[in-house]
Amino acid sequence: MALPDEAIGQIKAMILAGELRPGDRLPPEKELSERLGLSRSSLREAVKALEVIRVLDVRRGDGTYVTSLRPEVLLGALSFVADVQQDSSVLQLFAVRRMLEPEAGALATARARPGDADRLRGLLAEVGPGTGVDALVAHDVLFHRSLCELAGNDYLTSLLDSLSGSTMRARVWRGLMQEGAVERTLTEHRAIVDALETGDAELVRALVTVHVSGVGQWLERALA
């Protein structure tokens, strides 16, 4: 769901001006929509999206509140949505990852030694259905780095680590927005490890391609 740019700017301005503070209750929908110059349907869409990224807390039968997050955290969440909508360069970063990471995975498979697959499975065991988005993304970053390190090329590992860090906010956003993100990520990671353990470099290459492409394709649809 895309958050209207106008709503982002106006709500951000209200936080900056101190009109909305952590813990504050939003005015009634009709009053706020008239104040912001938005239709009530647009405001509802904005509220739903802001609830997903934890800027707003919708309490059924009570009202909608600004969360208890610090103002700088609230502004950071709003800024990310605005940045992604206005600058699609992050999609180019995913495209580069899609070129390089499958090859790194195939090379890692060719060089893998006994016990490497078990070590990767150990990372998977640290994440479960109750894992939050931040922990999921941290796991994803560590898994990809560990897989790349098996390829034995320090320059490639460093380059991919940099690209991975640059796409982290997009991965957090997808984790917040997309239902079942934890299980989907773990399922894809398990498949990669299973293929690596059997020594099937071509299958690893294909699985990593699909895995890395997933976030980029989701983000592209969200931007559209």
- Give DSSP secondary structure letters for 89-134: HHHHHHHHHHHHHHHHHHHHHHH--TTHHHHHHHHHTT--TT--HH
Q: What pLDDT score was predicted for residue 2? A: 45
CATH 1.10.10.10 domain position(s) in the chain? 5-86
Q: pLDDT tens, 21-44?
A: 888 898 888 898 888 887 887 787
CA distance 57 to 47: 9
Q: What pLDDT score was predicted for residue 206? A: 97
CA distance 178 to 169: 14
Q: pLDDT tens, 144-159?
A: 999 999 999 999 998 8
Q: Which strand (E) or helix (H) includes residue 65?
A: strand 63-66
Nearest to 26 by CA among 37, 41, 15: 15
CA distance 152 to 108: 7
CATH 1.20.120.530 fits 89-223, yes or no: yes
Residue type, 220: E
CATH assignment of 5-86, given 3.60.20.10, 1.10.10.10, 1.10.3470.10, 3.30.300.10? 1.10.10.10
Q: What pLDDT score was predicted for residue 146? A: 95
CA distance 8 to 26: 15
Q: CB–CB of 91/216 below 8 Å?
A: yes
Q: What pLDDT score was predicted for residue 183? A: 83
Instruction: Give the predicted TM-score (pTM) of the model.
Output: 0.64
Q: CB–CB of 100/159 below 8 Å?
A: yes
Which segments of the chain have a pLDDT < 50? 1-3
CATH 1.20.120.530 domain position(s) in the chain? 89-223
